[in-house]
Amino acid sequence: MLDGQKILDMHAHTYAPPELYAYKSGLLSSRGYHGKGNPGVSDERLEEATQRGLKIMDSVGTDMQFLSPRPFQLMHSEKPASIVHYWNEVNNDIIGRVVKAHPDRYAGICGLPHVSGEKDSAHVVAELERCVKELGFIGVMINPDPGEGDEYTPALDDEYWYPLYEAMVKNKVPALIHSAACKDMRESYSAHFITTESQVVLNLLKPESKVFKDFPDLRIIVAHGGGSVPYQIGRWRAARFNRMKGDPNLENFDTSLKRLFYDAVLYNKESLSLLFELVGTDRCMFGTENPGSGTATDPDTGLQLDDTAPVIKSIEWLSDQDIKNVFEDTQKRAFPLLKV
Amino acid sequence: MLDGQKILDMHAHTYAPPELYAYKSGLLSSRGYHGKGNPGVSDERLEEATQRGLKIMDSVGTDMQFLSPRPFQLMHSEKPASIVHYWNEVNNDIIGRVVKAHPDRYAGICGLPHVSGEKDSAHVVAELERCVKELGFIGVMINPDPGEGDEYTPALDDEYWYPLYEAMVKNKVPALIHSAACKDMRESYSAHFITTESQVVLNLLKPESKVFKDFPDLRIIVAHGGGSVPYQIGRWRAARFNRMKGDPNLENFDTSLKRLFYDAVLYNKESLSLLFELVGTDRCMFGTENPGSGTATDPDTGLQLDDTAPVIKSIEWLSDQDIKNVFEDTQKRAFPLLKV
Amino acid sequence: MLDGQKILDMHAHTYAPPELYAYKSGLLSSRGYHGKGNPGVSDERLEEATQRGLKIMDSVGTDMQFLSPRPFQLMHSEKPASIVHYWNEVNNDIIGRVVKAHPDRYAGICGLPHVSGEKDSAHVVAELERCVKELGFIGVMINPDPGEGDEYTPALDDEYWYPLYEAMVKNKVPALIHSAACKDMRESYSAHFITTESQVVLNLLKPESKVFKDFPDLRIIVAHGGGSVPYQIGRWRAARFNRMKGDPNLENFDTSLKRLFYDAVLYNKESLSLLFELVGTDRCMFGTENPGSGTATDPDTGLQLDDTAPVIKSIEWLSDQDIKNVFEDTQKRAFPLLKV
Amino acid sequence: MLDGQKILDMHAHTYAPPELYAYKSGLLSSRGYHGKGNPGVSDERLEEATQRGLKIMDSVGTDMQFLSPRPFQLMHSEKPASIVHYWNEVNNDIIGRVVKAHPDRYAGICGLPHVSGEKDSAHVVAELERCVKELGFIGVMINPDPGEGDEYTPALDDEYWYPLYEAMVKNKVPALIHSAACKDMRESYSAHFITTESQVVLNLLKPESKVFKDFPDLRIIVAHGGGSVPYQIGRWRAARFNRMKGDPNLENFDTSLKRLFYDAVLYNKESLSLLFELVGTDRCMFGTENPGSGTATDPDTGLQLDDTAPVIKSIEWLSDQDIKNVFEDTQKRAFPLLKV
Amino acid sequence: MLDGQKILDMHAHTYAPPELYAYKSGLLSSRGYHGKGNPGVSDERLEEATQRGLKIMDSVGTDMQFLSPRPFQLMHSEKPASIVHYWNEVNNDIIGRVVKAHPDRYAGICGLPHVSGEKDSAHVVAELERCVKELGFIGVMINPDPGEGDEYTPALDDEYWYPLYEAMVKNKVPALIHSAACKDMRESYSAHFITTESQVVLNLLKPESKVFKDFPDLRIIVAHGGGSVPYQIGRWRAARFNRMKGDPNLENFDTSLKRLFYDAVLYNKESLSLLFELVGTDRCMFGTENPGSGTATDPDTGLQLDDTAPVIKSIEWLSDQDIKNVFEDTQKRAFPLLKV
Amino acid sequence: MLDGQKILDMHAHTYAPPELYAYKSGLLSSRGYHGKGNPGVSDERLEEATQRGLKIMDSVGTDMQFLSPRPFQLMHSEKPASIVHYWNEVNNDIIGRVVKAHPDRYAGICGLPHVSGEKDSAHVVAELERCVKELGFIGVMINPDPGEGDEYTPALDDEYWYPLYEAMVKNKVPALIHSAACKDMRESYSAHFITTESQVVLNLLKPESKVFKDFPDLRIIVAHGGGSVPYQIGRWRAARFNRMKGDPNLENFDTSLKRLFYDAVLYNKESLSLLFELVGTDRCMFGTENPGSGTATDPDTGLQLDDTAPVIKSIEWLSDQDIKNVFEDTQKRAFPLLKV
């Protein structure tokens, strides 16, 4: 392994005391009738929670986490819009306080106040700029389905998203694609993550999409290893090969896949290996959500599933540079504002 | 490789002349005003198409295909219900004619006349029984989303589906899970296949589901290698381990996964290997959809993507019995009515 | 009868091989996921079908047919808009190929890519101009109900339709009013034709309508003999007489009726006679839809219902000029671009 | 003309003082909050209005009118159901009072309290029986579209209507088909009458309809000369001939047409002649709606349009018996309870 | 009591003959198909009704009534918009005729043609100006819920209402807040009055509302004593006190309440006393709706409930000026155009 | 004042640590995907919060509070039903633990797991019985609007509610009427309380309601002093007097009002006095919600608004028995299971 390599976990979420979520519960009940109010998370209570988080990081050897709001809590589909804005700001502020207190251990990725039913994404730009300019954040998190399970928001290749893309390019911040809750009763929020990530990959890369022509510097990171796409790559390769017969200038699907970045939030060696093999380690970044979806102990092995650094290192065919890519170098390329 | 092994491709669809789909187009335009009418597919035209199919099978060494209606054409969400019934019957009849003409090369899997908005699945039972008893079919194909992208039909663990499950068990036929078209503008029909298959696995296997308690002999085959689930297995293992802490009688997720069957309709070696490793070859069956979603030639290699028998055989760690499982034995166990 | 009179059947639809409708079926199933693709109608197959059509024309003595897309197939209410555009273009292209091959026997009337839910009709203008300028078409066909049975598109006297009217006047093309399919379960597409045609007449001619004030050169042809209006003329005369009491400048209903053109697509002598009597032969044109809705043989008489030229000629009170009007002269006045 | 023939106008509506409609206006505003209340139509005010009606009848030579509630006022689509019931009862009571006061000049046809959104038509039976048994009425009026322009109520061949049909047969009363208002903005209530009447004819007579098999004694009278159907008869004949090719037991469309009765509420000689010719005078009855839709004077001729008795008598080809059929005999056959 | 004091009843509604409401009933049935037509209220019939009204006024000692259309009849939620406009104009015209005939006894408050679903309130301005400039009216009546029980129209602090507010200020007319009918089945129109009035008070006065900052001269009169707000004042005071802790510039709720005017349309002494005490007599005006909601006789006391002038005078703690405020002076300040 | 009188505050809500509401926030985000789980409210944390509550009670001299779940947090309109059930049970369990720990200071009133869209109220009965039988609760809390601002649940006089009423009578528990959140953007949850309470009073007491005939022993307590009804009593008296003219057996509105109980959760002397005067102290009970909506200090007086015991005692016209009624005796009559 290369010397001096850092372990940057780019997919982690706020680890806050219950006061934060009690505040959210109140917003939902009052629908904002009492105004934004104050979430009542004191510095002491926040630092207590942060220390628990740092202890986890130390226990698995993580140098730094990129913190974003806990996605399934973001309630983008709720009305009125004011409570979505209040809640999102409060989440970013909490992250800002943690980052300010521990700048060597955390970097900030802001949530965006997506509101379902808007005519375009311009309504999230002000918060992006506040977080980058005032709080020093290095990335944003996009929920491609602010309706949380409805069908109303256009796909990510639609011009609906262009105001946000312009702001991202201008401010040099990449976006982590990560949906929030899901109100479709056939799909849990967790399964909805995978579904929406798959949709994002396929919609951004389809032949009709002009996104990367219009925004060549746009950086998109697809969470959870790209949803289902790497595993199902055969059907997308075939579809593309057939389209290429009519349009020889089309690039093949494997080339398209490399226009995106992916995190490595998968909790088993076989899938991690498949991801690295199909998209390349220079498009992949270490991520764990720890503590989060993978925080569980296998009763048979006693291993914690989201302690994946050793798993990654155990993949035989990865070179030292591959490993450095995953833990550090891809992060640095994807996040121009990152200071490590 | 074991001697005398047959190659049974359990995932293939009708290969019919354009008259069949022109008939469908007319049904949609008339909404059934002229009655069921006649699709006008003559024996000559049908046999012409079938010979083209057999030639493909011979070219890749397939002994037998299990034919089902071409799923994305099934239009389950259309109204009135009569045209869904007409169209589904016509498709099954076409398959029946092909099977009758070539009983050693084809077996029948019937489409079901799912109608979106019904109170339960009883409306599909008569057609299941007609196909099994009169046409000699050996399986059925379930569309878990008859609304083709809406959210109205309950998940597969809901009692909505029990009348169908009872008929399946009684008639000894397994079901291939395969959705149809998709009217959600963010997801193509092809991506919707993967989404709905993932949902089916997760809903049938979740701790609250009683399906396999209530129907211990039910056989469910999830198409396209189980959607996204094998690739994303880590998050589902973790969620289950956490539930097991509160309920020690729960089985782990890997055990649950083996309650289902899967087809191997994936078109790359890495994913096929992942599937076989995670669920076991005794739950997997060879399938290609050839001609179908994987029918394309890689311009670099010149190989056709859905010619996967050689790909499977090239997976180093598979034993001879593993290979025989995939090509023949699992099919025989999953389809009690299969006569080979 | 006058010498040298031609028989111009201005209401006829594409007569295409099943490949065309199989293509439509695929578009509906894929919702355009594979792009526009190719309908796969070869010149040979198209000419085969056309020869069958010419044979029919010859058998009944028709000199020329004005071909428009088969209306009930037009699927204007389907989503996304792209498949409506694809399908409509393909239909017009097929007609263009037939007209080009047989310019003395066919003239083209283009279908329009109406999309339900648009804010006005501007989205159909480009295709109108393509068909007139590039394919040499002489008229357009308007579906007054792109929602195919819903209630959302405004009536034809609404300014919604003005962009199209402007383009019609500018390009010197008349419009045949003809709805498409119908998803209202109480009304077949065929009955819906009559309903929508009646609505068009009544809405365009009502006292509040400004259409013919704003577009004095607009030419509108109402299919199927004006729907129900001529038969029910008494109630509309009475309503108008009552409105005239309050507004003496209003014209009476019979005068208003003559602002429109009508085709004579009725299949019995009594109704044809009623139509000619009430609106005048100088507003009526011969039309048959042959082969189409009237293509059936009366088992008692052995006569084919849509062979109406002899029926028209048998109406005792029609003068030679009346007959010439119906078969030829009204067509020439209504279609300025017609070259015969 | 035959001696002693009576002129029975079977299509006439309540002619009431404004108090009645002011009551309705109040019901709509209060949504029934004050209960049913009292419409406040005194005997004096009612008799005043009735005398005006009798004077009209005398002026055109009508012996008797069959009175039904003024249809476009019936507001079947309004909520809650209570106000529909209140209003319908009050209308029937008003008719009952007029009939009781002038039994030799009026007979009663009751309105029904159709409520949109019910699961079947059983909710109208009690009022039918009240009117027949207590008020001595001889017929009912069915609104086939209680939603007044929506698409929710099933067509008249649906079993939805069977409870009403049973009550009609049991009580020996025929039904006049007559819709009410229309909230579809593309169609006036008056045009909606024609549309719904056409639908009723086509739905009741279509090959799939079992109504006359299940209720051989059911008597249905279609208002306004059958809507558009007689005029458009050619297309329905053709469609039927084509269905007969597949099912030789089907009767032809002209035979089917004679299963229904029609009123002659058309206001011009050509259309009346067409109607009598196509369906036969033994299925037609004199009707005027006078005063109503046809009550207007042609300024050129000075004739009142709904004074159609002389018009009918002027149709050259009608025999004396034909004329007696229209004015008297068909009414007697259609209304078994009629006492004249 | 002060000498020469007039009793100005600022809350009274048209008292018209049934012809007016029969006209409305016809509009609803025809949906405007016959145009605006003529309500047919003759001068004689109108004066007859007016004399009945004047007799009532004299009997209770009222000098003048401010007449507005009877609110629950206004049918703002009906479609198409044309009938809402027709009906509203006819109501205002009736009031104009009464005021013109009896200028010393009546002043006019116009109804507005609110149409549910519009993007802002600009569509009511023309009628406001017509009534003020042509008919000499002195105020307007706003229905804050044109949807009559739906949830679609924004609250009165939304910029939706600004075009109307601008016109009110420019024309020096105050608005009486008074909703119309209610189609929510859990709430009668009468209860809906109270609900919407409470909403208006709370929405206009909430800390986020900028209405009185943007329109310092706007005059709003809340009907029926302010709905529930005075009675429930404690909870609104408490909420405001809590908001004031975070924003010391906020005024307290009692001060806010005095930004509005209230009528005294309450029919019992206790509630009238409560109202006067909490908001002050300089914000209150005498009103009775007589004849209207309070027109009933208590069988025990024999007193008519809406004869509230004596009740008000009997409130012990009111000073002479208080009483003069309620009966006359507040009216004069609230209605700058009032000439008495 | 009478000796030994206790002060029983019958309207108080859970006073819990933030963990409880963080749990709710998680349920909403996961939509129940992880099952019911554990709210994680330890005995220590709960007792800490309870001690804060007891301190408040002691400071204002309250002997006992009847605790119900905090209503605006109840989220009855959320889906799936499982999370409504989980959350409601957890709330009742929290109350059960507090009551068990301090049986002399607290009694329990259970929340009910109302689910919007059910066909009747039977789904809440099991939880009612669990709380009464297992947890020893003495009353229930009904949300008359489980849709939280929609219009779908029938009014309280509808038979929808009968299963619940039967269980209430059988178990001898009264119901406190108290709505939850409100998603109608024109009405805050707090204003919605008042609206729904007013509706409940008017619907239960209207002449058409049969509730108290069918359930003579049913006990209903309307929160917040009966909404707007006492203040607006004049209009309801008048409406009833008018109905009584047509039905002399009807009781007057004041008599009807006394069929219900009311709490005295009003925070000003004038309104409290009005309430007691109109409905009588034998139908009123002391209640404060402390801490809750009235917990605020008037900056001018320094008094806390919800410290209303002294306010009540200061009402001059109340007798000692009146005061004892409000503080103790009415509670004892309304809650048969209360042990004090």
Task: Collect all residues with Cβ–Cβ distance below 8 Å to F126 and sequence separation of at least 6.
Answer: none
Residue A140 CA to residue A146 CA, distance in Å, equals 15
> For A177-191, how does the pLDDT look when each residue is reduced to its tens digit (9 = 90+)?
999 999 998 999 999
pLDDT score, position A340: 85
Contact criterion met (CB below 8 Å) for B69 and B14: yes
pLDDT score, position B152: 85
Q: What percent of chain A has a predicted confidence (pLDDT) above 90?
A: 96
Q: Are F35 and B239 in contact (CB < 8 Å)?
A: no
The answer on pLDDT for D4 being more than 80 is no
Residue E252 CA to residue E335 CA, distance in Å, equals 27
ipTM of the complex: 0.97
Closest CA to C328 of C95, C59, C110, C4: C4
Q: Enumerate neighbours of E (3 or more CB pairs within 8 A).
A: A, C, D, F
Choice among A78, A127, A148, A289 that is catalytic: A289
The answer on pLDDT for F1 being more than 70 is no
> For F181-197, how does the pLDDT look when each residue is reduced to its tens digit (9 = 90+)?
999 989 999 999 999 99
Query: Which residues of chain E make contact with C239, given a CB cutoff of 8 A?
Result: 34
The enclosing H or E element of C108 equals strand C106-110
pLDDT score, position C3: 60
Mean pLDDT taken over chain D: 97
The answer on pLDDT for A49 being more than 60 is yes
Mean pLDDT computed over F150-158 = 92
Mean pLDDT taken over chain E: 96
Closest CA to E293 of E221, E224, E218, E209: E224
The enclosing H or E element of B285 equals strand B284-285
Which chain A residue is nearest to residue E207, measuring alpha carbons? Answer: A35
Residue C14: what are its φ and ψ, rounded to 5°?
A: -50, 140
Mean pLDDT computed over B123-139 = 98
Contact criterion met (CB below 8 Å) for D148 and D107: no
Residue A8 CA to residue A332 CA, distance in Å, equals 9
Task: Collect all residues with Cβ–Cβ distance below 8 Å to A209 and sequence separation of at least 6.
Answer: A157, A203
Q: Quick one: pLDDT band at residue F4, thresholds 50, 70, 90?
A: confident
Q: Quick one: pLDDT band at residue E151, thresholds 50, 70, 90?
A: confident
Query: Which residues of chain C make contact with E35, given a CB cutoff of 8 A?
Result: 207-208, 243, 246
Residues of chain C with pLDDT under 50: 1
Q: Are B228 and A230 in contact (CB < 8 Å)?
A: no
Which chain D residue is nearest to residue C295, measuring alpha carbons? Answer: D238
Sign (positive/negative) of CA torsion E210, E213, E218, E219?
Answer: positive
Q: Quick one: pLDDT band at residue F5, thresholds 50, 70, 90?
A: confident
Which chain E residue is nearest to residue F251, measuring alpha carbons? Answer: E299
Q: Which chain F residues touch B if contact means CB-CB below 8 Å?
A: 34-35, 37-38
Query: Which residues of chain C make contact with E34, given a CB cutoff of 8 A?
Result: 239, 242-243
> Shortest Cα distance from B28 to chain F (angstroms)?
34
Contact criterion met (CB below 8 Å) for C194 and C228: yes
Mean pLDDT computed over D163-176 = 98
Q: Are C30 and B79 in contact (CB < 8 Å)?
A: no
Query: Which residues of chain F make contact with E231, given a CB cutoff of 8 A?
Result: 225, 228, 230-231, 266, 271, 274
Q: What percent of chain B has a predicted confidence (pLDDT) above 90?
A: 96
The answer on pLDDT for D282 being more than 60 is yes
Q: Quick one: pLDDT band at residue E1, thresholds 50, 70, 90?
A: very low
Q: Which chain A residues touch F if contact means CB-CB below 8 Å?
A: 17-22, 24-26, 28-31, 33, 40, 72-73, 75, 79-80, 180-183, 185, 188-190
> Shortest Cα distance from B246 to chain F (angstroms)?
8
Closest CA to D106 of D338, D268, D269: D338
Q: Residue A219: beta bridge partners?
A: none
Interface test with D, best of F208, F240, F247 (most D CBs within 10 A): F208
Query: Which residues of chain D make contact with E33, given a CB cutoff of 8 A?
Result: 188-190
Q: Are F270 and E293 in contact (CB < 8 Å)?
A: no
Mean pLDDT computed over D266-285 = 98
Q: What is the dihedral of CA A284, A290, A293, A296, to 10 degrees?
A: 120
pLDDT score, position D1: 47
Q: What is the dihedral of CA B166, B169, B173, B176, to 10 degrees?
A: 60
**CA-based R_g, chain E, Å:** 19
CB atoms within 10 A of CB F104: 10
Q: Enumerate neighbours of C (3 or more CB pairs within 8 A).
A: A, B, D, E
pLDDT score, position F69: 98
Q: Count of A–B CB contacts within 8 Å?
A: 165
> For B244-300, how does the pLDDT look when each residue is reduced to its tens digit (9 = 90+)?
998 989 999 999 999 999 999 999 999 999 999 999 999 999 999 999 999 999 999
Q: What percent of chain E has a predicted confidence (pLDDT) above 90?
A: 96
Choice among D78, D89, D197, D289 that is catalytic: D289
Residue F28 CA to residue F20 CA, distance in Å, equals 13
> Shortest Cα distance from B31 to chain D (angstroms)?
14
Q: What percent of chain A has a predicted confidence (pLDDT) above 70?
A: 99
Q: Where are the alpha helices (DSSP H) in chain E?
A: 18-30, 43-60, 81-101, 125-129, 162-171, 189-205, 211-214, 233-246, 253-257, 269-279, 309-313, 320-324, 330-334
As a residue count, chain A comes to: 340
Q: Are D34 and F208 in contact (CB < 8 Å)?
A: no
Q: Where are the alpha helices (DSSP H) in chain C?
A: 18-30, 43-60, 81-101, 125-129, 162-171, 189-205, 211-214, 233-246, 253-257, 269-279, 309-313, 320-324, 330-334
Closest CA to F14 of F165, F137, F144, F161: F137
Residue D135 CA to residue D91 CA, distance in Å, equals 12
Q: Which amino acid is at A83?
A: I
Closest CA to C128 of C88, C87, C70: C88
Mean pLDDT taken over chain A: 97
CB atoms within 10 A of CB C137: 25
Residue D176 CA to residue E175 CA, distance in Å, equals 50
Q: Quick one: pLDDT band at residue E5, thresholds 50, 70, 90?
A: confident
Mean pLDDT computed over D35-57 = 96
Mean pLDDT taken over chain B: 96
> For B185-232, how does the pLDDT look when each residue is reduced to its tens digit (9 = 90+)?
899 999 999 999 999 999 999 999 999 999 999 999 999 999 999 999
The answer on pLDDT for F3 being more than 70 is no
Mark whether F and C touch (3+ CB pairs within 8 Å). no
DSSP B230: T
Q: Count of E–F CB contacts within 8 Å?
A: 164
Q: Which residue has the tokens 């002491």?
A: A44
DSSP A12: E
Contact criterion met (CB below 8 Å) for C232 and C225: no
pLDDT score, position C151: 74
Give the strand pairing for C64-68 and F8-13: unpaired
pLDDT score, position B5: 86
Burial class (CB in 10 A: 0-12, 13-18, 19+), D216: exposed
Q: Which chain D residues touch E if contact means CB-CB below 8 Å?
A: 17-22, 24-26, 28-31, 33, 40, 72-73, 75, 79-80, 180-183, 185, 188-190
- Sheet containing strand E8-13, edge to edge, reads E8-13, E64-68, E106-110, E139-142, E175-177, E220-222, E261-263, E284-285
Query: Which residues of chain E make contact with D75, given a CB cutoff of 8 A?
Result: 28-29
Residue E320 CA to residue E324 CA, distance in Å, equals 6
Closest CA to D79 of D123, D40, D28: D28
CB atoms within 10 A of CB B52: 12
> Shortest Cα distance from F36 to chain B (angstroms)?
11
Residue A261 CA to residue A280 CA, distance in Å, equals 10
Q: Quick one: pLDDT band at residue D3, thresholds 50, 70, 90?
A: low
> Shortest Cα distance from C59 to chain A (angstroms)?
42
**CA-based R_g, chain D, Å:** 19
As a residue count, chain C comes to: 340
Q: Residue D9: beta bridge partners?
A: D65
Query: Which residues of chain C make contact with D241, given a CB cutoff of 8 A?
Result: 296-299, 305
Q: Quick one: pLDDT band at residue E3, thresholds 50, 70, 90?
A: low
Q: Which long-range contacts (CB under 8 A, 24 or more apart) does D291-294 make?
A: D291/D15, D291/D53, D291/D56, D292/D12, D292/D13, D292/D70, D293/C235, D293/C238, D293/C239, D293/D190, D293/D265, D294/C234, D294/C235, D294/C238, D294/D265, D294/D267
> For F281-314, how does the pLDDT look when each residue is reduced to its tens digit (9 = 90+)?
999 999 999 999 999 999 999 999 999 999 999 9
Contact criterion met (CB below 8 Å) for E220 and E260: yes
> Shortest Cα distance from D135 to chain C (angstroms)?
32
Q: Which two tokens stand for residue E71?
A: 């609110």
Preceding omega of A146 cis (within 30 degrees of 0): no
Task: Collect all residues with Cβ–Cβ distance below 8 Å to F1 and sequence separation of at least 6.
Answer: F313, F320, F323, F324
Mean pLDDT computed over B126-145 = 98
> For D115-158, how does the pLDDT look when each residue is reduced to its tens digit (9 = 90+)?
999 999 999 999 999 999 999 999 999 999 999 998 789 999 99
pLDDT score, position E152: 84
Which chain A residue is nearest to residue F40, measuring alpha carbons? Answer: A18
Contact criterion met (CB below 8 Å) for E181 and E77: yes
> Shortest Cα distance from E210 to chain A (angstroms)?
15
Mean pLDDT computed over D302-308 = 97
Helix (H, G, I), strand (E, B) or coil at F3: coil
Query: Which residues of chain E make contact with F230, given a CB cutoff of 8 A?
Result: 231, 271
Closest CA to E265 of D171, A20, F235, B120: F235
Q: Which two tokens stand for residue B127?
A: 């057609």
Q: Which residue has the tokens 């809405």?
A: C203
Choice among E127, E148, E289, E328 that is catalytic: E289
> For A235-262, how does the pLDDT look when each residue is reduced to its tens digit (9 = 90+)?
999 999 999 998 989 999 999 999 999 9
- Sheet containing strand D220-222, edge to edge, reads D8-13, D64-68, D106-111, D139-142, D175-177, D220-222, D261-263, D284-285
Residue B44 CA to residue B40 CA, distance in Å, equals 11
Residue A142 CA to residue A95 CA, distance in Å, equals 16
Query: Which residues of chain C make contact with A208, given a CB cutoff of 8 A?
Result: 35
Q: Quick one: pLDDT band at residue F340, thresholds 50, 70, 90?
A: confident
Q: Quick one: pLDDT band at residue B3, thresholds 50, 70, 90?
A: low
Mark whether E and A touch (3+ CB pairs within 8 Å). yes
Mean pLDDT computed over B147-174 = 96
Q: Which chain F residues touch D if contact means CB-CB below 8 Å?
A: 207-208, 239, 242-243, 246
* Half-sphere CA count of A231, side-chain side, radius 13 A: 32
Query: Which residues of chain A make contact with E242, given a CB cutoff of 8 A?
Result: 34
The answer on pLDDT for A91 being more than 70 is yes
Contact criterion met (CB below 8 Å) for C290 and C52: no
Q: Are E34 and C246 in contact (CB < 8 Å)?
A: no
